[in-house]
Structure 1
Amino acid sequence: MLMSRVIDSIRHRNLARLTARCDSQYLDAEPWVLDQLDVADDGVKIGGWALPPIDPNTSATFAINGQPFDRLDYPREIPIFKDSLWMRPRAEAAGFRAERRQPRAKLFCDGFISISFNFPGRPVRAPYRSAWYRPTLPSYHSTWYFRDPSLQIALPDTKRRYRVIGSESEDMFSLGGFTDFMRMNALLEDRFQFGYRDCQRILDWGCGCGRVARYFATVPGVDFHGGDIDPDNVSWCHDNLKFGTFHHLPLHPPTRLAEGSFDLVYGISVFTHLRENVQFSWLQELNRILKPGGIALATIHGPTTMNYAMMPAEHHRLITQRIETEGFVITASNDQIDDVVEDKDYYVNVAHSRNYIRKQWGQTFEVVDILPGFIWTHDLVVLRKRL
């Protein structure tokens, strides 16, 4: 009996090692890209790229509103990915095009469409394991959401959109904003059993020109606030997003926001651009304005960002090694908001290691989870104010 248990144990260990060797070829997170979305009265066409199964015999699926596309061309070769995503086997087989023929009213019967990608065994790493850890991705993590354009409220002009996302595209602005809105709500409901509707007061910290904020017009009963250091975008939000209250924030806290007043604060691509001392000041300020037990969601440039930066192998090795060693690294200057802030050195590009987040941010907040590649290539840090 004892020998049988020993043999079984060895078998399990060997199987685990084999699985680990296989899985190690996948990246920590593998977000996929929609860069074409054409909606017509009689259907929709999409295109982009999604890293395929390493085993070419494994089938991947694309779905729209849970249903297969009528036509799917996948995989399509993207030769440059063999060099730019060198760490991932079969990366060059990532391209796709798909089409669904369906009347527009049926496509948007729920007010939006959802587009998902998956394959059996698609992995996810859990760099910060908790009781909530699961070996596979929840479906909302790998789904894009696009709201019916006829239901959209005012869109900002191209210059404002560019300052926020680095692109002038209306569809990409809307697609990314609504996807982030939907994913964060699904995460809150999944992880904490409450969503936006259960909050009394919510703050979009770094609201820009309302890329995500605009969708809170659909959430009744919430006292919604947005804040940003960009006075022009704040003014635009104030004039066009009448459901919320918008604040011009100083470059350095404190703000005039009331202590202990928010149930939820989220900041997308804000800590990705703050110098270290400024970062610590804002962590303290977010902690101050949250209610005890309140949740903060914040994105960082982590390993997924570096993997998707399309850099040569040696450069990738050096920068990732530096980030892991130093924890916090300024990776580049950034002039995206130079026209609207006085301090031209304020806004930079930065990267964090996950160990740094646990240690340094953990001095101010409880670090509940770090979810790789949750908001495009950004890791999402889930924080909770201690009681």
Structure 2
Amino acid sequence: MLRTREAADVDAQDPDHLIDLTLVRPTIVGATISVRSRFSAVRFLAILCDGKPWATVPTFPRDGGDGITFSCQLPMVDRDRSMRVEARNAETQEVLGHKAFDVGPLYNSFGLSAALVLDGAHGPLMSMLGLSFDGVKLVISGGQLPPNGDPSQLRVEFDAGVAYTVEYPLPSPDFETHYWYWPNAGLSGIRITVDLLACAPGADPFRFRLVYPDLESLGGEARRKQAATALVPTARTVYIPSNLSSFIGFPGNITQLTRVQGHDSPQSVTFTGYSVFRALEAIMARHGIRASTGTTVLDWGCGHGRVTRHFIQNWQDARISGVDIDAENAAWCNENLPDGTFSQVPLWPPTSLKAASFDVIFGISVMTHLTAEAQQAWLEELARLLKPGGLALLSFAGPGAVAFSSFWRDRPWWDAWLRSGFDDQQSDLALQGKIPDATYYRNSYQMSDHVRSTYSKYLDVVAIELEQFGYQDLAILRKRT
């Protein structure tokens, strides 16, 4: 939770006495309000900056339960200046406090400007990882960065007839750290509860959308350039597995889970894998590929079958295959997902797979770990494996992923990234001891323009969708006929 400095109690008998706003950090305004104050029942505060609406933020119970506290990160500025901040009761618009503050730019501990990072971070990341079910209520939890820094701009939409409640925003310390550059990232927590017994017959409680407006008030030229060459999301659909068999059968060795996704909860792995499957299914359908007899699908980098298992369960007439450089995970899939075909492939192509044998190949978080040289070698191989007109769906770590890592970046690294549009210098140790070359697996980042110029040498670039899977972007490619 964002910390606030305690303010003096407000005299409840003096209607003209305002909340004592305090600049608790260079970019965060807040206050603590006594239970004896007439303002202690206020649930939401509308914050105005220099007379313009900025964000609506919630109040939270004060430690000890004797009042409320609130905080709000102010808009990013690129130079020192004065800013007049006003707090109003969001429900009545009564002015509760106002004060002018001297504010300045925000930097990380390595001297990198938040405004510079924000300029290229094209969307508010959504990360839904938590899933629990007690037989009556379904609870989904995670994080959603406040659109334009304002939590009130987020809408959650289910189909008609679904009984649900939304708790948002909730304090989110992890988001506040990783997304230090995003205004009010510390107010990203979200929890959605679906009451299945109260849902109307025929309603679909296993799908919802997170909707927000265009992101025009954050960022600058880099964001506009991204929007001109790729699809910037204004909504994201989250899919919840409704078949309990989806949760059955995972590797007993937890490291087989964590080196694929970074989470060791089978519930989280099932939830995220299913949502990726449904997103891929929708994209494939838009491009003419559906589940049918004879359709051939390859999961390139299948891991322990996080996504593949859902294709096997739901595309029973199709032929599903998976390959991975991780021999242990490929073998586990062969033994435990018998309706698919799995094999280990070498670090460098070619593979023993037959040419022109797949209608669609998808690779989720594979290009994110390959050097420029390895990417090009595998693009040539994927083009060989696709049927004429076949589709390749490849995620890559774009500006959103770089922004996520910016907490540890300095200005020289950032300037080099902006110049080149590609970086593969950082090693990833997730597969250490599982593959023969300790230098092969990387953390690789690339801009959309780099993807277009490189990938188009091997396949037609149909579209690029930004932050399709967490902070990873998706390149939609088609083999030339």
What TM-score do the two structures reach when normalised by structure 1?
Answer: 0.82
Give the C-alpha shift of residue 197 in structure 1: 3.6
Query: 2:134 matched to 1:40?
Result: yes
1:199, 1:264 within 8 Å by CA — same for their partners in 2? no
Structure (1/2) with the larger helix percentage: 1
Which one-letter code corresponds to 1:93 in the other structure?
Answer: L
Task: Report deviation, 1:295.
Answer: 0.8
Distance 1:82 1:366 in 2: 39
* Counterpart residue number, 1:260: 356
- Distance in 2 (CA, whole Å) between partners of 1:68 and 1:109 is 6
- Select the structure of larger CA radius of gyration: 2
* Corresponding position: 1:235 with 2:343: no
Q: Does 1:29 align with 2:123?
A: yes
> Which position in structure 2 is the counterpart of 1:330?
424
Q: CA deviation at 1:302?
A: 0.7
CA distance in 2, matches of 1:256, 1:96: 46
Amino acid at match of 1:366: D
Answer yes or no: is 1:250 the counterpart of 2:340.
Answer: no
Q: How does 1:95-106 map to 2 (within 5 A)?
A: 95-103=189-197
* Structure 2 residue identity aligned to 1:330: D
User: For residues 102-181 of structure 1, what are the structure 2 equivalents within 5 Å?
Assistant: 102-103=196-197, 113-121=206-214, 127=226, 137=234, 142-148=236-242, 150-152=244-246, 153-157=248-252, 158-181=254-277
Offset, 1:365:
1.3
Quickly say closer, same or farther: Cα 1:238–1:45, change in 2 above 3 A: same
Correspondence 1:90 to 2:90? no
Q: Say if 1:81 and 1:376 are closer, same or farther in 2 by CA, change over 3 A.
A: closer
The equivalences for 1:1-387 within 5 A come to: 27-54=121-148, 56=150, 58-64=152-158, 70-78=164-172, 81=175, 84-103=178-197, 113-121=206-214, 127=226, 137=234, 142-148=236-242, 150-152=244-246, 153-157=248-252, 158-190=254-286, 192-197=287-292, 200-217=295-312, 218-309=314-405, 311=407, 315=409, 317-387=411-481
The gaps in structure 1 that reach 5 residues or longer are 1-23
Q: Which residue identity does 2:306 align to in structure 1?
A: R
2-structure distance, mates of 1:107, 1:375: 31
Q: Deviations over 1:311-333 (max 9, x none)?
A: 16xx2654443223223212421
Q: CA deviation at 1:383?
A: 1.1
Distance 1:237 1:226 in 2: 8
RMSD: 3.1
Residue type matched to 2:362 in 1?
Y
The question of whether the paired residues in 2 share the 8 Å contact of 1:204 and 1:226 is answered with: yes
CA distance in 2, matches of 1:108, 1:235: 41
The structural deviation recorded for 1:80 is: 6.7
Q: Is the 8 A contact 2:162 2:199 kept in 1?
A: no
Tell me the CA shift for residue 353 of structure 1: 1.9
CA-to-aligned-CA distance 1:119-171 (integer Å, 9 cap, x gap): 344679783757xx77764x5xx122221352224222222111211221111
In structure 1, what is the Cα distance between the partners aligned to 2:436 and 2:470?
A: 30
Over 3 Å counting, the alpha-carbon distance change for 1:287 and 1:26 in structure 2 is closer
Flag the 1:69–1:206 CA change in 2: closer, same or farther, 3 A. same
**CA distance 1:84–1:176, change in 2 (3 Å):** closer
Q: Please give the alpha-carbon distance, in whole angstroms, between the structure 1 residues aligned to 2:299 and 2:327.
A: 15
Between Structure 1 and Structure 2, which shows a larger proportion of strand residues?
2
User: How far apart, in 2, do the equivalents of 1:81 and 1:322 lie?
Assistant: 26
Task: Answer yes or no: is the 8 Å Cα contact 1:69–1:98 preserved in 2.
Answer: no
SS at match of 1:147: coil
Secondary structure of the structure 2 residue equivalent to 1:227:
strand
SS at match of 2:309: helix
Amino acid at match of 1:344: A
Task: Report the count of equivalent residues.
Answer: 356
2:207 partner letter: S
- The 1-side partners of 2:305 and 2:151 are apart by 43
In structure 2, list runs of 5 or more residues that go unmatched: 1-117, 217-222
- How far the C-alpha of 1:202 sits from its partner, in A, is 0.9
Q: Residue 82 and residue 202 in structure 1: after superposition, are their counterparts in 2 closer, same or farther (change >3 A)?
A: closer
Larger RCO (CA under 8 A, 6+ residues apart): 1
SS in structure 2 at match of 1:382: strand
1:12 alignment counterpart: none
Q: TM-score, structure 2 length as denominator?
A: 0.67
- Give the secondary-structure state (helix, strand or coil) at the position aligned to 2:339: coil
